[in-house]
Structure 1
Amino acid sequence: MLFKKSVLAALLMWSLNSWALPADIQAAKDEGMRLWGISEWIEMQPYLEQSAEAGDVESMYYLGEATRLLGRGLTTEAMEWYLKAAEQGDPYAMLRLFQGGACIGGKCPEGSDDWREAALGITLPKAEAGDPEAMLAMYYIYANLDASRLTSVYNFLGIPTRAGKWLKRAAEAGLPEAQTRWGRHIMNGRGWYFTRSRRLEAAESWFSRAAEQGYVPAMEKMDYVNREQQDFEESWRWRQQASNSGNIDSRLGVGWCYLDPSHDEEWCPNEQDKTKGWAILYAMSHELGGKGAEDIMDWNREKLTADQKLEAEALAEAEWIGRHPPLSRFPHRFGF
């Protein structure tokens, strides 16, 4: 169905919900988003359905994301959730709708650009007025429109494209998500840096700005760039900070380093604490299941006595399980 101009005009209000949800509904949303962070796409849905039914646009969008990922594509059910969010002015939902089959086999029916134009119309005025979140949305809009991912930030001469310019503006405006993404583009070879050390320094400067604001994915990148620069003490400091903030991979690395620092002495500059390491991994296994933490525990099972394991499990119950920020993979809001 083609949109009428009056419908598109109504979408240009960016009417994302700004009211507070009732406490019980907010708790349900929080649990749904926690499950989203660990890729539990089925389990999260009953919780976010409660907040979506209460009018929470973000919940509608992430229900669309979960349904899309479960269905390995833009299924009818996913499109229905995106449509609900888009009708409330969510530009990311509009982009998903634009991706969802308006153009088939290289042929686009008349009016297929409506959602793309709606996303631009709703976002551009706010971005030009200085809203960093809107600037970041403009990056995703233009990156989505580029002919290929290779040109989504820089063209072949290394000159930022429209997408790259908006991303950099959002980063310069202080938005940590944009700062981290801009740093990642630098790490991935974008821009003119004639030595690896200069590239690492440039990326680190952006990751540092975001990490100092408490943005956990940037803390993980600070661990990485400091390791690449052979500053293992600083790398370890950031890995601990990311772990304490809930990053799954960082928590796994910290637990392994405490349990057996000899497995990588440069990566693990800490003193061994087998009880603490086992406690961290036991807590992760308890909260997440899966094979990551359990594999490391299996490899090191003979290093602890039965009493030490019991002590570690008690420590996990007292200090880790349910007593730290929720574990998360911190997925991108507009990922693959």
Structure 2
Amino acid sequence: MPRTNMFVATLVLGLWAGMAYPADEERPSTPILGAEEQQAKEEGMRLYGIRWRSVAISHLEKAAEAGDVESMYYLGEIHRFMDRGMSREAIDWYHSAAQGGDPHAMLRLEWGMICELADICPEDHDSWVDMALEQELPRAEKGDPEAMSTLFDVYNMLGDPRTALDWLERAAEAGNPEAQDWLGTITQNRSGELPPKLEDVKAAEPWFRKAAEQGYAPAMYNLSLALRKQERHDEDWEWTQQSSQHGHISGRLAVGWCYLDHTWADFCPDDIEDRIKGWAILHAVYKETRNETAEGILGRHQDLLTEAEIAEAEKLAEDWLNRDPPLSYFPPKYGF
């Protein structure tokens, strides 16, 4: 199962029925990209990270056409999302990525039943998930944390959640920050209750912290939320700031809002208020990402500043635009 609580898709396979790729088709390799292609990929991934999917396509295509397998996979993701299912373009890009060795592209093809419905099948394997397993299991057994984490998705696809969780735990214990963050999320939500039980939040905190201390922005933000649920506001504020500095959009929004109006949340320090700075941060988020939450906060608080102060803030916003690392929602690779 993809790493999400919901997965809605519509198979659009009419154009693909009966089509198959030649058995001797050469699998693409992943060359070192030239400077222009690498720049295009980075811009495409930045745009993908802020959900500007359609704009990202032309940039990622430049890298994919140069043989970059990761760009092929994300082009599949973009077309699947935009087309609300496994469209012709999505299948084509996933297939190219799978042939290049991307295990999550193999899982997408397996999930979409592309072998059965469109006769696009892997060479020398019974299924796409078998191909992913054969590729990733030896790497994981040799101690590769990324492969261990991938096996979580592979074994879930195989209907073996216990083995899947075992591999996720091994990946987390081996230091993979994405696995640590995901294990924290699973631990926090294991009761199925909303809001999560406090005891589960406390049990999840160490995993979020391990990943956060490695610089993984999603874990920084998740750690701040876990601390917030425990009313540990000083630590919460510190990690919220850290997530903002590492490009997490939700963290940046929270920081900007605290500066604009510290009374909106208990974790905002009482002495933090700087309305011009807060407006500048939120205006920059909106200008860079068109984030609706930023727009809404600004709209609700516009009476707090004079026209001159707003003008000053919007000038200051230039200092908050296009920082490195870039703003992102940090969508999981194998999400919904």
What's the % identity of the aligned pairs?
47
How many Å separate the matches in 2 of 1:133 and 1:263? 39
Q: Which amino acid aligns with 2:71?
A: S
Give the 3 Å change call, closer, same or farther, for CA 112–21 of structure 1 in structure 2.
Answer: closer
Instruction: Name which of 24, 31, 44 aligns with 1:32.
Output: 44
- Superposed, 1:277-316 pairs within 5 Å as 277-316=278-317
How many Å separate the matches in 2 of 1:146 and 1:228? 33
How many Å separate the matches in 2 of 1:263 and 1:97? 45
Which residue in 1 is equivalent to 2:200? 199
Q: Which amino acid aligns with 1:66?
A: I
Q: Secondary structure at the match of 2:218?
A: helix
Which residue in 1 is equivalent to 2:15? none
Q: Which amino acid aligns with 1:207?
A: F
How far does the alpha carbon of each residue in 1:119-177 deviate from its partner, in whole angstroms, 9 at most, with x for none? 11111110111111111111111112228xxxx3xxxxxxxx01000000000000000
Deviation, structure 1 residue 283: 0.5
Give the 3 Å change call, closer, same or farther, for CA 324–312 of structure 1 in structure 2.
Answer: farther
How far does the alpha carbon of each residue in 1:1-45 deviate from its partner, in whole angstroms, 9 at most, with x for none? 7999x879x98xxx863x431111100000000011011111000
Q: Which amino acid aligns with 1:256?
A: W
Which residue in 1 is equivalent to 2:209? 208
Which residue in 1 is equivalent to 2:260? 259
How far does the alpha carbon of each residue in 1:294-333 deviate from its partner, in whole angstroms, 9 at most, with x for none? 111111111111121121112111x201234211000000
RMSD: 2.6
Which residue in 2 is equivalent to 1:54? 66
Give the 3 Å change call, closer, same or farther, for CA 81–258 of structure 1 in structure 2.
Answer: same
Which residue in 1 is equivalent to 2:91? 79
- Superposed, 1:51-130 pairs within 5 Å as 51-102=63-114, 113-130=126-143
Give the 3 Å change call, closer, same or farther, for CA 16–37 of structure 1 in structure 2.
Answer: farther
Is 1:221 matched up with 2:222?
yes
Give the 3 Å change call, closer, same or farther, for CA 216–16 of structure 1 in structure 2.
Answer: farther
Q: Which amino acid aligns with 1:329?
A: Y
Which residue in 2 is equivalent to 1:155? none
Deviation, structure 1 residue 114: 1.7
Which residue in 2 is equivalent to 1:321? 321
TM-score (norm 1): 0.86
How many Å separate the matches in 2 of 1:84 and 1:135? 23
CA contact (8 A) 2:260 2:276 kept: yes
Unaligned runs of 5+ in 1: 153-160
CA contact (8 A) 1:98 1:113 kept: no
CA contact (8 A) 1:98 1:115 kept: yes
Which residue in 2 is equivalent to 1:158? none
List structure 1 runs of 4+ shifted beyond 3 angstroms.
1-4, 102-105, 195-198
How many Å separate the matches in 2 of 1:144 and 1:217? 24
Give the 3 Å change call, closer, same or farther, for CA 230–299 of structure 1 in structure 2.
Answer: same
Q: Which amino acid aligns with 1:187?
A: Q
**Higher RCO, 1 vs 2 (CA within 8 Å, ≥6 residues apart):** 2
Which residue in 1 is equivalent to 2:157? 144
CA contact (8 A) 2:188 2:197 kept: no
